[in-house]
Structure 1
């Protein structure tokens, strides 16, 4: 795919010669992503070192930057790639239309990168955690991570990651900024919540490891996030600077295990958090700008030598003290290798360039980051990757097998936490009213399963109310209360965090899906109707109730 440029020449000469010798043939094989000779770490290191020695300073500096992709065509990014030689681009929905357009754009972007300078391919990344953070307008849509945690099955996490990676790869996307390794111990966390697998460190670690390995096995790099942990915050780092006020011991026991396991599993990339952790660094700097946390804890103590990326630099949590240029310089000095989404790319690039020219960022420090980035690209075979095939993408992305995988995870996650007087499962043919969040999907699925879906609780045998974080929404809570006044059993389907039950004390049955995606809502309906028995188990404890981590009911028989 990349016939021009120094990258292709050096990578081919170093990496493919050993493959040709070992195969006994004069030309190397055409491997799958999991068997590519580029995945060999020692060969990747050798090729990266050779390429690094030939790159200009401007080309090296460019590898540190990952701006947002512009427009819906590769050509819209031509000047950006020519001027800055970025290490990657990140896709957002405004640039994504359908499978053919995404595949064509990915191919065109790589062609532009190959044609300039050293010809280093781009890491084309996306936030495709699944659930509420899913940027693709196409493809199989899985539930959120907390739903996966409720299955208690690492194979479910692996299924999500493998399916996601296969779809991304078909579209020419080479990096997923996932999975989330944050342990969500604060029920009021405004930014993590159901994006976390749960509140128990080993459960989160098991799921993170399963996803990290499945991404790699299916040819896509992944970024474990948000180090050193964003799960115990009551402030959203998009809008402010959170502080994680825990002791060093508590941090090591609660927040560290998933990241330690990810490091041990050979994580491609780790993303920083814009959070202050006084137990790790009492300077008041967010982790993204903290040498004590990135170079000290992550590099020296945990021994991580993969790529460190910042979280998005346009977020308020990292923009409290310095201008956008100085933030970029300080992130590199702290230990970051890639600078994600600088809000003022020209200013950030100029500041880093000046810092290198003046010796504030040493050439050794610059080379260390670029080496890691090049090795990552080589390990994942970006040097000899085939272009995305739009026809194959149309067949792969959102195919029947992938949709079935999402449905299986959703059904395994549904958790029954209250069932007074055996309100569930519903009687065959029961009259059911459905209101609130997910009304269309839940009601439609119940109708397919033979229930009589009626307009109002007064006409129903059972009232079903969908909620999504109703603790902070008086209108949702009123909808539940009003349904109860009709004298029929009230069943709540909680599609956000499972904590809504603390403010809904008088309901008859409570089902948690931990996700508001279509597949989770339909899974809930199948559980209500008795088509599927609930097997999910609570991945958090719910304060103010007797519901603890691991709770969950099934149906008799």
Structure 2
């Protein structure tokens, strides 16, 4: 732990000075504010949830209908005022996130409606979990940064992300992911993790905490405590059980959270997982006093805000009713209650628990004080409305795009290069770019365009999860090209192995084939007959641009695997070991 802290301090904190707390009118501005609050206002501060609409006070009719159904009022501003909310969470599906000017205007409207200034949050993890769309600067995500092995790059990615969020009025990001992905079959973490080695994940987590908070002034949240990295169940749909011993937890799962706390993280998010060695009751960690109060508060010494993961998720709803979950989370030691499935039910359940004596008002005060202290530390209690014109200039700025390119160029990882197929001589070469494609980013088309800019005769043929007919179409197209680059994503989750069948069919044509895993690299062990294999860990446009540079020799690959890729025939052995990476 001392070594991790020393690395982060030496590389990141030496040139930075923590911003002073905002000037206050009294010696205890948080206490003064708390003393003026009614019980109803205090309970409202505990909740952070979403509301539908792109505008605070004038949603379109469809959004108004959704708000009425969920909250009994029409507008996001009315939701904030009705429940005295402490926080609001932005999503694209709740129609909050559009152009920078729209988001900034929404944030200003919601803050104007709030009795106490809001924590406005979103999940801008980068990589596979992105909420704010382009022109936001989109980095390739945690596992790509783990492959790059650069703490300054991790810091810079968080700083840029945090600055763009803060510019549009979002002052809290549910990032970074501190889970150590030791299970290749993990369906919910995977590339959201920095890797499978605790020391790497810890150093990267701390670097991003510093980038978000000291670099950008945006509150960070390390998640998901006590560690969601060794599960094959998705807590959105089930209740995972992690059977690490107490010693294994301390060695594997704890280091990134210890590092985040040492770096001064504002918030730690709970996981809806059962860890019998830490609490034999069968309660998920979100509802576990031994885990949240005994372990996180007591042993790790964290006194910041503990936020639950979304209370809409199945993992926290299986054992208790929705009216009990928020009360039990507070009794366990949580402070901030995220997205209950029925806000009115949850809000009134907490009020009733205080009035009935199950929870004391002093217990509520303890959590509200932590939330208000966070807001004070980040300048939220005295913040002015964000400058809409400045938001438009900041989000996706040229400076940020240059940082994106520089960071992403160091993440592409080359794993196999039989016969020195790579780098390619692309001038006039016919290259078929095919395979899995994202409707959001068009990674197949983007890579083809970047290769064409470098002189290739590049054709894009996206296949998705290919049918037999589409596989035959790709095989036919390969005949008219000199080489094939095929992209895969989450291929092992497909029981019919359609992406793997596509790759094997293309390899059988005799054409040189390059496979690029644009998400988890684990599937590459199932394609030993393919001569060239790379991993980008992401399909964002910047990753495709970096990949084109590597394929053509414009840049040498710099990445090294941040996870072990198990062999297909014997998962107890490594097909590609941790740290493997080629260059040319």
TM-score of the pair, normalised by structure 1 = 0.90
Moved over 3 A (4+): 33-37
SS at match of 2:28: helix
Cα separation, partners in 2 of 1:285 and 1:39, compared to 1, 3 Å: farther
Partner of 1:100: 101
Partner of 1:12: none
Whole-Å Cα distance in 1 between the matches of residues 80 and 434 of structure 2? 50
Query: Is 2:185 the counterpart of 1:188?
Result: yes
Partner of 2:579: 550
Residues 383-394 of structure 1 mapped to structure 2, 5 A cutoff: 383-394=381-392
Whole-Å Cα distance in 1 between the matches of residues 317 and 229 of structure 2? 21
Query: Is 2:517 the counterpart of 1:517?
Result: no
Cα separation, partners in 2 of 1:45 and 1:269, compared to 1, 3 Å: farther
Cα separation, partners in 2 of 1:454 and 1:135, compared to 1, 3 Å: closer
Whole-Å Cα distance in 2 between the matches of residues 288 and 37 of structure 1? 30
* 151-160 or 380-389: bigger deviation: 380-389
* 79-88 or 193-202: bigger deviation: 79-88
Whole-Å Cα distance in 2 between the matches of residues 308 and 279 of structure 1? 21
500, 503, 518: which one aligns with 2:526: 503
Query: Is 2:531 the counterpart of 1:531?
Result: no
Instruction: Give the number of aligned pairs.
Output: 516
Residues 398-547 of structure 1 mapped to structure 2, 5 A cutoff: 398-429=396-427, 430-437=429-436, 438-454=443-459, 456-473=477-494, 474-544=497-567, 545-547=574-576
How far is the alpha carbon of 1:275 from its aligned partner?
Answer: 0.3
Whole-Å Cα distance in 1 between the matches of residues 169 and 103 of structure 2? 8
Whole-Å Cα distance in 2 between the matches of residues 158 and 70 of structure 1? 33
- Checking the alignment, whether the CA contact within 8 Å between 1:143 and 1:409 is kept in structure 2 is no
SS at match of 1:236: coil
SS at match of 1:134: coil
Partner of 1:63: 45
How far is the alpha carbon of 1:451 from its aligned partner?
Answer: 1.2
Whole-Å Cα distance in 2 between the matches of residues 454 and 101 of structure 1? 37
Larger RCO (alpha carbons 8 Å, 6+ apart): 1
Partner of 1:78: 77
**What are the ranges of 5 or more consecutive residues in structure 2 without an aligned counterpart?**
1-16, 58-74, 437-442, 461-476, 568-573
Partner of 2:293: 295
- Checking the alignment, whether the CA contact within 8 Å between 1:39 and 1:379 is kept in structure 2 is no
* 453-462 or 289-298: bigger deviation: 453-462
**RMSD of equivalent CA atoms:** 1.5
Residues 64-143 of structure 1 mapped to structure 2, 5 A cutoff: 64-75=46-57, 76-93=75-92, 94-113=95-114, 119-138=115-134, 139-143=136-140
SS at match of 1:150: helix
- Checking the alignment, whether the CA contact within 8 Å between 2:448 and 2:459 is kept in structure 1 is no
Whole-Å Cα distance in 2 between the matches of residues 45 and 172 of structure 1? 27
Whole-Å Cα distance in 1 between the matches of residues 549 and 152 of structure 2? 22
Whole-Å Cα distance in 1 between the matches of residues 197 and 459 of structure 2? 41
Whole-Å Cα distance in 2 between the matches of residues 340 and 273 of structure 1? 12
SS at match of 2:434: strand
Cα separation, partners in 2 of 1:190 and 1:53, compared to 1, 3 Å: same
How far is the alpha carbon of 1:163 from its aligned partner?
Answer: 0.2
Deviations 1:193-243 (A, max 9, x none): 000000000100111101101111111101110000000000000000001
SS at match of 1:74: coil
Residues 129-528 of structure 1 mapped to structure 2, 5 A cutoff: 129-138=125-134, 139-217=136-214, 218-429=216-427, 430-437=429-436, 438-454=443-459, 456-473=477-494, 474-528=497-551
